[in-house]
Amino acid sequence: MQLDQSNNATPEPSEVVSRYLEAIYYMWAEKEPLRSARLADWLGVSRPTVAVGLRRMARDGLVRMNGRKEIELTSGGMMAAESIVRRHRIMERWLTDGLGLDWVTADAEAARLEHAVSEVVERRLYEVLGRPATCPHGNPIPGHSQASPSELMLSSLKAGDNASITRVSEVAEREAPLLLAYLHQRDLTPGREVTVLETDEVGKTLRVHVAERDVTLSFETASKVWADRR
């Protein structure tokens, strides 16, 4: 791995640093403000612990703070983060498609396995699985695909809109496994066609038709589902 604008190699990130890199990458992909307090909430650790971790990562050339006091991945940090996320999502594909595990279990198991899988095994699994473009939840696999540039949060659609679900937010995957199961049980999964029947700005809910039934979602829940308007 190359550090940002440097020719000095750095060793494989530790498991703790990998967790930080992965969380920062997910927040960046979801366009969340990358602040240390939010990162602490995401990781379930104290803010002082995050501050110490970020100082070490900055020292190692993986992150930096911008003028708005937000965290940024350096080019080296982005490469390391993409490698971790790519491995995780390929493992999820194997656990669901190959072993038949459910969404929630596969995500938890992939988080354990991603640190023990070599690049050789990762590449072989990717080929054996038929070169998948996304994880089971529709999120793109870094280096192999990208999110649709036209996708929108389901919560931003209006009554009468038709859309095709593209992915489920990583926030649901990592911070709310019960929500991930909730969405799966209601067929709010990648590839499903939905029609927005009603939006309630006062109650902050919307009602959609999906898979032959109507489902009412809070705006908060609907913001965790991304879709392409048809």
Return the closest-CA partner of residue 167 out of 197, 136, 212.
136
Alpha helices of the chain — where are they, by DSSP H? 15-29, 36-43, 47-59, 75-93, 103-113, 119-128, 170-175, 177-185, 219-222
Task: Verify that 70 and 125 share a domain, yes or no.
Answer: yes
Instruction: Give pLDDT, residue 7.
Output: 39
Q: Which residue has the tokens 């049980």?
A: 185
Q: Which helix (H) or strand (E) is 163 found in, with range? A: strand 162-168
Kindly report, residue by residue over 102-122, the tens digit of the pLDDT: 888 898 899 888 888 889 999
Number of separate domains in the chain = 2
Kindly report, residue by residue over 186-196, the tens digit of the pLDDT: 999 999 999 99
Return the closest-CA partner of residue 228 out of 170, 149, 155.
149
**Alpha-carbon span 230 to 214, nearest angstrom:** 19
Instruction: Give pLDDT, residue 172.
Output: 67
Task: Verify that 113 and 198 share a domain, yes or no.
Answer: no
Judged on CB neighbours under 10 Å (0-12, 13-18, 19+), 212 is exposed
In this predicted structure, the answer to whether residue 80 has a pLDDT above a threshold of 50 is yes
Residues 40-68 have a mean pLDDT of 93
Task: Verify that 141 and 198 share a domain, yes or no.
Answer: no
Task: Verify that 59 and 161 share a domain, yes or no.
Answer: no
CATH number at residue 162: 2.30.30.90
Task: Verify that 54 and 163 share a domain, yes or no.
Answer: no
**169-174-179 Cα angle (round to 5):** 65
CATH number at residue 2: 1.10.10.10
Instruction: Give pLDDT, residue 173.
Output: 65
Task: Verify that 50 and 123 share a domain, yes or no.
Answer: yes
Task: Verify that 123 and 179 share a domain, yes or no.
Answer: no
Judged on CB neighbours under 10 Å (0-12, 13-18, 19+), 24 is buried
Domain residues for the domain of 7 are 1-145
Task: Verify that 168 and 214 share a domain, yes or no.
Answer: yes
**Alpha-carbon span 229 to 150, nearest angstrom:** 8
